[in-house]
Structure 1
Amino acid sequence: MDLRRVSLILKLLSLGLPPDDYVVAGSGPLLAHGLRDEIGDLDLVARGAAWKAVSTMAVPVAAPSGHGRMVVLADGQIEVFDRWLPGTGDPGRLIESAERVQGIPFCPLREVLGWKERSDRPKDRADVELIKDYLSRADTSSRDA
């Protein structure tokens, strides 16, 4: 899938954020790896210049998790957080561990798996199974190579 043809990704790229200062979290990595054909919104974790930029686009508010602040953009289709979910650690580490898919920084699927398992929300359970299956196939392929 060409991510640059996905409406949400086009909206993200139109923000002009420095890619070394944010990472796509939430379900975005499932889209990037072809595990989902569509998602409802994009969640980003931002720091430094990226956080400063989004903070000029809308007023930061308390995150629903009660952990940090967020900026809501594109009529709610893009949510930018200054830290991710409780228990995920330092936002800088999350950003530094990003995998580039078509030049866009995404959280590694193993990270996504961890927080979706911890959240254990009904909407995350299907994603957990998709990620486990994908990682299992990827591990088998790398052993066979």
Structure 2
Amino acid sequence: MYLREHDLVKKVLSLGLPEHDFVIAGSGPLLAHDLRWEVGDIDVVARGAAWERALTLGEPEDAPFGDGVRRVLLFDDRVEILNGWFPDIWTVDELIDGAEVIDGLRFAALDNVRVWKTLLGRSKDHLDVKLINEYLESVAH
């Protein structure tokens, strides 16, 4: 399936966020690399004009991780826009500027995804790390 036709990606695109001011994180990069097609939600890390736009779309609240990280939940909590992502490890600028552009959208680099999924350590994260490792190994050869 064409990436921009995925229901959650379409929801993100419908928000009109400036493309250079956000990156799709969470499991979204696995979706972009066709490692997983089923994802329950999509996380968007935003800065500048994209974060300002998010603030017009919903009420910000504290995110469950990271001091000072705020989030706006949209589409029955299936799209989460955050102003930070593991802030002890990366700045928002590092995540966005270091993103991979796939189908015209910025996705967090798989190396970064592997780091946060390892830190989270949930059962689904273990599987995702395995998928990422296999993918990165296959493209390295």
State TM-score, norm by structure 2.
Answer: 0.95
Aligned to 1:33: 33
Does residue 64 (structure 1) correspond to residue 64 (structure 2)? The answer is yes
Does residue 112 (structure 1) correspond to residue 83 (structure 2)? The answer is no
Higher helix share: 1
Which residues of structure 2 form unaligned runs of 5+? none
**Computing the radius of gyration over CA atoms, which structure comes out larger, 1 or 2?**
1
State TM-score, norm by structure 1.
Answer: 0.93
Counterpart residue type for residue 92 of structure 2: P
Which residues of structure 1 form unaligned runs of 5+? 141-145
Task: Tell me the C-alpha RMSD between the 2 structures.
Answer: 1.0
Counterpart residue type for residue 82 of structure 2: F
Structure 1's consecutive aligned runs of 4 or more residues displaced over 4 angstroms after TM superposition are none
Count of residues in correspondence between the two structures: 140
Deviation at 1:131, TM superposition (A): 0.2
Percent of residue pairs identical: 47
Q: Deviations over 1:105-133 (max 9, x none)?
A: 10011110111112222220000000000
Aligned to 2:83: 82
Aligned to 1:143: none
Q: Are the aligned partners of 2:24 and 2:108 in contact in 1 as well (CA < 8 Å)? A: yes
